[in-house]
Amino acid sequence: MSAGEASPRLGELIEEAQRVLAICNACRYCEGYCAVFPALERRLSFTEHDVHYLASLCHNCGSCLYACQYAPPHEFQLNFPRVLAQVRKQTYKRYAWPAFLARAFERNGLAVALLTVACLALFFMAMALAGDPARLFRAYPDSEGSFYAVLPHGAMAGAFAVVFAYVILAFAMSFASFWPDTGELASEFVSPGSSGSATWDALTLKYLDGGGAGCTYPDEKPSFARRNFHHLTFHGFMLCFAATCVATLYHYGFGWKAPYGFWSLPVLLGTVGGVGLLAGPAGLLWLKRRRDPLLVDPSQDGMDLAFLALLFLVSLSGLLLLALRETRAMGIILAVHLGAVLALFLSLPHGKFVHALYRFAALTRFHIERRRPLPEIGSE
């Protein structure tokens, strides 16, 4: 991000957020919906860092917009969820690492994602072809260790290790610049009380519930659809990740080589997770297409769509690989699956996934603050 280019717009956006937060602080009717309102009520005025923090605390459930007496067309034009959504994109760019890739948040659309998958898949195919052109299109029984017959294990593991290390480093660097700006100590973040509560909130999506009745998403009628599809997506992803971890342990710890049987732990975890990772992103996309345009920042649609599409593609190609691994199509599917997974991981630090990092940090800060006495900021 070149600071000079984005600053004036960012400045206006922060000012708009500060205007909106001041109205909310004087009203407070929405206090019971989520963590954002109790957090803002601890303040009399809002610094730029407060704005980033509160924006990341917002889950965009939408309830406050429909309840708002000042929402458009009221002359105050107060659209709390949307202005915070717009701020979140700026948060992602501001704390992105490496910084020169911050523009990716603007351009990280579906086309880029699919192109990345295609390039990486072609790369894996070329790698297989370079060894022996025939082996990519052969059918292998499981007993012949199909995957590694096409692509050497070392090449796969090496590529993923490098990308994984990059992702971890990128997140660590982003967090390391975000957290000090909140004014909290690093030791506060790691104290188990607050981060434990935040973990619970994140795993249960506590605040994606509109204060108890469900989000007003995709429209005004409260529903738990979005939370449920998010659960399927997140926990599906985690099960797939667990499958990979177990498989890695099998490989290096016990010397058991893939492919594993249908009733083995890695395949069971991957299958269940994969189904969740198909249904979750599909459901989220379906909801997204029907949501109230007032609620969101449409400039982030590309980023959202790309992330959901990659998750879906990873899962779809993974499940196809499982079903067709003893056929001649396996080589191509394997290349596409590896391409999709690698593209997904490469996009993590500069795509929609980063919301998890800042949301978790914000929730942790919320719990840190909540343990402190309320500042004396008066009453009626």
Partner 1 sequence: MDSSRIYDLLILGGGNAGLCAALAARKAGLGVLVVESAPIHFRGGNSRHTRNMRTMHAGPLDVLTGAYTEEEYWQDLLKVTGGLTDEALARLTIRGTEGHLPWMKQHGVRFQAPLGGTLHLSRTNAFFLGGGKALVNAYYAAAAAMGVETCYDTEAIDLEIEGDRFIAATVRREGARQRLRAKALVAASGGFESNLAWLREAWGPPADNFIVRGTPYNMGVVLKLLLAKGAKQVSDAMQGHCVAIDARAPKFDGGIVTRVDAVSLGIVVNKHAQRFSDEGEDFWPKRYAIWGRLVAGQPDQLGFSIIDHKSMGKFMPPVYAPVKAASLGELASALGLDGAALEATVAQFNAAVRPGTFDHTILDDCRTEGLAPPKTHWARAIDSPPYYAYPLRPGITFTYLGVATDAKARMLMADGRPSANIFAAGEIMAGNVLGKGYLAGIGMAIGTTFGRIAGEEAARHVRG
Q: Which residues bind partner 1 (CB under 8 A)?
A: 22-23, 25-33, 38, 41, 44, 63-64, 66-75, 211-213, 220-221, 374, 376-380
Q: How far is the CB of 11 from partner 1 (least distance, A)?
A: 18
CA distances from 285 to 207, 297, 312 (A): 20, 15, 10
Q: How far is the CB of 37 from partner 1 (least distance, A)?
A: 8
CA distances from 291 to 1, 25, 61, 295 (A): 30, 27, 11, 8
**Dihedral of alpha carbons 41, 44, 50, 52, sign:** positive
Q: How far is the CB of 53 from partner 1 (least distance, A)?
A: 18
Which residue's entry shows tokens 């029907």?
290
* DSSP symbols for 224-244: SHHHHHHHHHHHHHHHHHHHH
Q: Which is nearer to partner 1, 81 or 276 (CB)?
A: 81
Q: How far is the CB of 155 from partner 1 (least distance, A)?
A: 56
CA pair distance 159, 335, nearest whole angstrom:
13
Q: Which is nearer to partner 1, 133 or 380 (CB)?
A: 380
**Burial of 178 per CB tally in 10 Å (0-12, 13-18, 19+):** buried
Determine the residue type at 103.
R
Q: How far is the CB of 191 from partner 1 (least distance, A)?
A: 25
Q: Which is nearer to partner 1, 19 or 138 (CB)?
A: 19
* Cβ neighbours around 303 below 10 Å, total: 28
* Cβ neighbours around 143 below 10 Å, total: 8
- Decide: helix, strand or coil at residue 220: coil
Q: Which is nearer to partner 1, 5 or 15 (CB)?
A: 15
- Decide: helix, strand or coil at residue 204: helix
Q: Which is nearer to partner 1, 73 or 255 (CB)?
A: 73
Q: Which is nearer to partner 1, 58 or 104 (CB)?
A: 58
CA pair distance 111, 343, nearest whole angstrom:
12
**Dihedral of alpha carbons 266, 267, 268, 271, sign:** positive
Q: Which is nearer to partner 1, 70 or 137 (CB)?
A: 70
Q: Which is nearer to partner 1, 74 or 257 (CB)?
A: 74
Q: How far is the CB of 23 from partner 1 (least distance, A)?
A: 5
Q: How far is the CB of 244 from partner 1 (least distance, A)?
A: 43
